[in-house]
């Protein structure tokens, strides 16, 4: 018998450890179930979970627009548009335009006129500004929601972190300067 095929791990073969009834405290469970019955905590959890999905969608849109803008910048420069005109249309610095053009130099160059390139870049820049403003507004609202939840004591920072896929340390950074004390971040506050 070879050493490699000697043991196969079966997860259900191990008996589960049971928590002794005297070690559990029923009071926090009753309080949580009372809040859940009223619907308050469920609404908070649902809103935080929806924010997680919305944040991922915004980030995806932002990455896609940045990629399209960078390719369009490179195509415009390769198509003969001056870097200063591209910078004026996009809001980038001239050095950033030149670096982007070099980085995407192997991209396909569409047969567009100078005006078409500038119009496309201006439209992409406007879409980017809109998405960035939307993201900043949502981030401010998210911060306010997290502060409200922590102040109310409905959830601790670890529960919020689990619902939003943001680390507890990042949540602490987000809530700096809001007057929350360190006890708001302790488990079971």
**Helices 83-90 and 114-152: angle between axes, nearest 10 degrees:** 40
Residue 167 clears pLDDT 70, i.e. is over it = yes
CA separation for the pair 58, 56 (Å, rounded): 6
24 pLDDT higher than 50 = no
Q: Where are the domains of the chain?
A: 44-185
The residue-averaged pLDDT of 118-138 equals: 94
Encoding tokens for residue 120? 């496309």
pLDDT in tens, 59-107: 999 999 999 999 999 999 988 899 999 999 999 999 999 999 998 877 7
- Lowest pLDDT segment from 96-100, 120-124, 126-130, 168-172: 168-172
State yes or no: pLDDT of 23 exceeds 50.
Answer: no
Query: Is residue 55 within 8 Å of 62, Cβ to Cβ?
Result: no
Nearest to 150 by CA among 112, 188, 177, 124: 188
0.85 exceeded by the pTM? no
**Above 50 in pLDDT, residue 25?**
no
Q: Which residue has the higher pLDDT, 16 or 91?
A: 91
Residue 122, pLDDT > 90, answer: yes
Among 90-94, 128-132, 160-164, the minimum mean pLDDT is found in 160-164
């Amino acid at each position: 018998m070879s050493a490699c095929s000697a043991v196969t791990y079966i997860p259900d073969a191990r008996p589960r450890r049971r928590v002794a009834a005297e070690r559990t405290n029923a009071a926090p469970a009753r309080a949580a179930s009372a809040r859940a019955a009223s619907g308050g905590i469920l609404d908070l959890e649902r809103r935080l979970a929806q924010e997680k999905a919305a944040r991922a969608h915004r980030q995806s849109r932002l990455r896609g627009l940045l990629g399209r803008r960078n390719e369009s910048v490179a195509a415009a420069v390769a198509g003969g548009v001056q870097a200063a005109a591209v910078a004026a249309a996009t809001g980038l610095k001239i050095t950033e335009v030149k670096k982007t053009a070099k980085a995407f130099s192997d991209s396909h160059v569409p047969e567009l006129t100078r005006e078409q390139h500038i119009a496309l870049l201006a439209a992409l820049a406007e879409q980017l500004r809109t998405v960035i403003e939307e993201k900043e507004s949502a981030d401010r609202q998210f911060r306010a929601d997290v502060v409200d939840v922590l102040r109310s004591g409905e959830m601790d920072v670890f529960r919020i972190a689990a619902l939003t896929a943001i680390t507890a340390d990042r949540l602490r950074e987000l809530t700096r300067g809001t007057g929350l004390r360190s006890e708001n971040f302790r488990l079971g506050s």
